[in-house]
Homo-oligomer: A and B are copies of this chain.
Amino acid sequence: MDRRQEILEAASKSFSLFGYKATTMDQVAKIANVGKGTIYTFFENKEILFQEIVVKLILEMKLAAEQEIETSRPFQENAHNVLMKILQFREVHQLYAKLVEEEKELRTPTVQTMLIRIEKEIVSYISEKINIAVDKKELCPCDSELVAFLLFKSYIGLVADWGETHDSELSEERIAALFRDTIFKGLLP
């Protein structure tokens, strides 16, 4: 069997279960049934190995997002579904959730860097979708990069931070209604 692939799977499993810092190369070697040295013939170091796994995570997330899109539906609805899916991904996907947790508690710098990379990817993905919608005249022309950033940060804020200052969680309908009445209303032609 492909040793490289086995190592990737072992590392992915360990990162998902214990996080970046708590995963040792010895452990990865053991799970992959491989000598530790072998890992280094395929991956320069721990961080590079991690990077490759994060790239896979990003692809997975994009795939999950893409599945939420139904071209016949209005942009607003697709955008809402995609953003909610991504935020749900953040909580449900083992690896992503673990990294968010590690960043909050441990502040591992490598994890921090990688999470920023993921966020950048998300924002640029949304930005592309906005550009497409603008071309199709579904939206007014706008600073798509900025609007994407605004949407992402707003959704994160409402879903993840609202609980910090309020007792009850926000319902998805209330969030959808807010965006319908504010940002999207402003963006429609």
User: Are A143 and B183 in contact, CB atoms less than 8 angstroms apart?
Assistant: no
Question: For the complex formed by this chain, how many copies does it contain in all?
Answer: 2
User: Are A157 and B153 in contact, CB atoms less than 8 angstroms apart?
Assistant: yes
User: Are B153 and A116 in contact, CB atoms less than 8 angstroms apart?
Assistant: no
User: Are B147 and A178 in contact, CB atoms less than 8 angstroms apart?
Assistant: yes
Measured CB to CB, the nearest residue on chain B to A164 is: B116
Which of the residues B116, B120, B154 comes within 8 Å of A157, measured between beta carbons?
B154
Q: How many of A's residues come within 8 Å of B, CB to CB?
A: 30
CB-defined contacts of A184 to chain B, threshold 8 Å: 186
CB-defined contacts of A119 to chain B, threshold 8 Å: 165
A172 and B146 alpha carbons, distance in the complex (Å): 13
A165 and B123 alpha carbons, distance in the complex (Å): 10
Q: Could you jot down 27 A-B contacts, CB within 8 Å? A: A119-B165, A120-B165, A143-B174, A143-B177, A143-B178, A146-B158, A146-B174, A146-B178, A147-B178, A149-B158, A149-B162, A149-B165, A150-B154, A150-B182, A153-B153, A153-B154, A153-B157, A153-B158, A154-B154, A157-B157, A181-B186, A181-B187, A182-B183, A182-B187, A183-B186, A184-B186, A185-B186
